[in-house]
Structures are given as structure tokens and as C-alpha cells.
């Protein structure tokens, strides 16, 4: 249970962090045509989606743990899962940054299969290495355990975001 919380915290740190980083570049332009309440709403919806994405990442590595044979992933779940999540989120961010220009949309779409196929192979290999190398295993597990502190920020933000979204829908 503790390792699942650590893995979720790592996924949440990466996903929420990317959203906050990407949105800070947009705030100056939002201030020209959005009211402060509307900016709060944008963040509220984003944080709810981030929570769901983090849960989806956790579910994916738990399913991988269930289906992968062998004791390696089961014994070192935290380090292997965190390595996979870092690779997946890092790959998504890199892929989005490489093709952020509107002219590159068709290239972005045409590279999806190769990009994600390569990403999953790299993630699997890196997770095995991280699970087998003791110092990497310990370092990644400690990193994931330290990420739990960010849940004390992200969970309340998500709860407040849920209240904002519900109030926007019903009131």
C-alpha cells in the first residue's frame, strides 16, 4: 500500500508539475481576456484531470505488475513503477515539445506508433535495470517516498477544484 501511494505521489508530482509549468506561460495572455474566477476554473478543471491522469498512471503500472511474470517487478514494485512513470511522462512531454508548432501536426500524428512503441520498450528496459541495480533501486524508492509530501498540496487542491467545478455546474 505504501509503495502504491509513493508511486501515485510521483505520478501526481510529474503531472501536476507539468500542468503548472505549462500554464504559467499562458497566464499573462489569459489576464487580457479572462476574469480571475475563470482562471481559477481553468485550473480547477486541470487539477481534476491531473488527479485522474495520475490515477490512470498508477493503474497502468499496477496492471503491468499483475501481468508481468517473475518476481523482479513484484519485489521492487516502487522503483520499477516510478521508472516507468518517469519515462512515460518524460516521453509525453518531449513529444509534445518537439511538435508544438501547428505546422507539425501531421508529423506528430504520424509518429505516434513508433514513438510510443519505442517508449514502452525503453520504459520496460529501464524498469528492469532500476529494479536490479541496488543503488538505483534504493535511490528511486527514496525519491518516491519523498514525493508523498506533495500529496499534502495536490490532494487539497484537487478537493477545492472539485468543489469549484461542482459549484459551476449546479449554481
How does pLDDT run across 28-67, given as a tens digit for each residue? 899 899 999 899 999 999 999 999 999 999 999 998 888 8
Of all residues in the chain, the percent with pLDDT exceeding 90 is 59
- Mind listing the pLDDT tens digit for each residue in 88-128? 999 999 988 888 787 878 888 888 899 999 999 999 899 88
Q: Which residues contact 55 (CB under 8 A, 6 or more apart)?
A: 8
Rounded to two decimals, the pTM is 0.88
Sign of CA dihedral 8, 118, 112, 105: positive
Amino acid at each position: 500500500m505504501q509503495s502504491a501511494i509513493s508511486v501515485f505521489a510521483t505520478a501526481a508530482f510529474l503531472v501536476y508539475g507539468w500542468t503548472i509549468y505549462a500554464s504559467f506561460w499562458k497566464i499573462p495572455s489569459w489576464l487580457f481576456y479572462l476574469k480571475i474566477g475563470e482562471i481559477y476554473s481553468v485550473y480547477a478543471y486541470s487539477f481534476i484531470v491531473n488527479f485522474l491522469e495520475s490515477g490512470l498512471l498508477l493503474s497502468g503500472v499496477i496492471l503491468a505488475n499483475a501481468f508481468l511474470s517473475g518476481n523482479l517487478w513484484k519485489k521492487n514494485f516502487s522503483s520499477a513503477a516510478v521508472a516507468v512513470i518517469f519515462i512515460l511522462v518524460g516521453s509525453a512531454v518531449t513529444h509534445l515539445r518537439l511538435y508544438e508548432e501547428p505546422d507539425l501536426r501531421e508529423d506528430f500524428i504520424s509518429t505516434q506508433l513508433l514513438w510510443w512503441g519505442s517508449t514502452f520498450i525503453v520504459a520496460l528496459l529501464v524498469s528492469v535495470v532500476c529494479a536490479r541495480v541496488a543503488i538505483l533501486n534504493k535511490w528511486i524508492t527514496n525519491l518516491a517516498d519523498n514525493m508523498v509530501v506533495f500529496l499534502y498540496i495536490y490532494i487539497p487542491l484537487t478537493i477545492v477544484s472539485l468543489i469549484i467545478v461542482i459549484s459551476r455546474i449546479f449554481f
